[in-house]
Amino acid sequence: MDKLFQRILLVVVVIIGAVYLYTKFTAAAEGEIAPDFEATLIDGTSFRISELKGKHVLLDFWGSWCAPCIKESPKLVDIHKKYSDQVTIVTVALEKNDKTWKKAADKLGYIWKHQIVDQNRFVLMSSIARKYGVTEIPAKFLISPEGKLLGKVSFEQIDTQFGK
């Protein structure tokens, strides 16, 4: 029984490692055109990230179950308040079910239009997250007005970029 358990565990670890590496090496790189995706916003409208060409976009991956995401949410709300005329925030909630995110988003003060809930049994297997190489959350990416991926960013970098 121990040998069988060890083999199953080894297979699971290998599969997880392969998915991680695949995600990292097939994702868009800094300087490339940001991967387009189609999703439904929380108000039911269809949305493509490419619709925001001509504006800076902050693409934020988070989850209502993610303690670090919840902890940094006041900073994201602050970025929205300070720079909404310069950067459009798009949040992608990676969720196992679609029940918990709404309560969390409301409580956190997520009031912007471009909110997406990407429901997946294995949250980091989200097709949107894989396109951007997301292997952990929170993760934020800045996209230029020309649609180029400027890379993964921190709140400090956002303040430096837009707080001139």
Q: Which residues of 49-82 are buried (b: 16+ CB within 10 A; e: fewer)?
A: beebbeebbbbbbbbbbbeebbebbebbbebbee
Q: What is the pLDDT of residues 11-69, one digit of tens each?
A: 777 666 656 655 555 566 777 889 999 999 999 999 999 999 999 999 999 999 999 99
Q: What is the pLDDT of residues 107-163, one digit of tens each?
A: 999 999 999 998 887 766 788 998 898 888 999 999 999 999 998 999 999 999 887
Look at residue 17 in the predicted model and tell me its pLDDT.
63
Look at residue 8 in the predicted model and tell me its pLDDT.
75
Look at residue 123 in the predicted model and tell me its pLDDT.
66
* Whether 147 contacts 33, CB under 8 Å: yes
Cα–Cα distances (Å) from 105 to 90, 114, 152, in that order, read 13, 12, 22
Residue 115: strand, helix, or coil: strand
Longest dimension (CA), the chain: 63
Q: Which two tokens stand for residue 128?
A: 């949107």
Residue 49 DSSP label:
G
Q: Which two tokens stand for residue 41?
A: 């916003």
Cα–Cα distances (Å) from 113 to 12, 28, 47, 91, in that order, read 39, 25, 11, 9
Residues in Cβ contact with 158 at an 8 Å cutoff, skipping those fewer than 6 apart? 58, 79, 83, 87, 140, 142
Q: What is the pLDDT of residues 92-121, one digit of tens each?
A: 999 987 778 888 898 999 999 999 998 887
Q: What is the pLDDT of residues 16-32, one digit of tens each?
A: 665 665 555 556 677 78
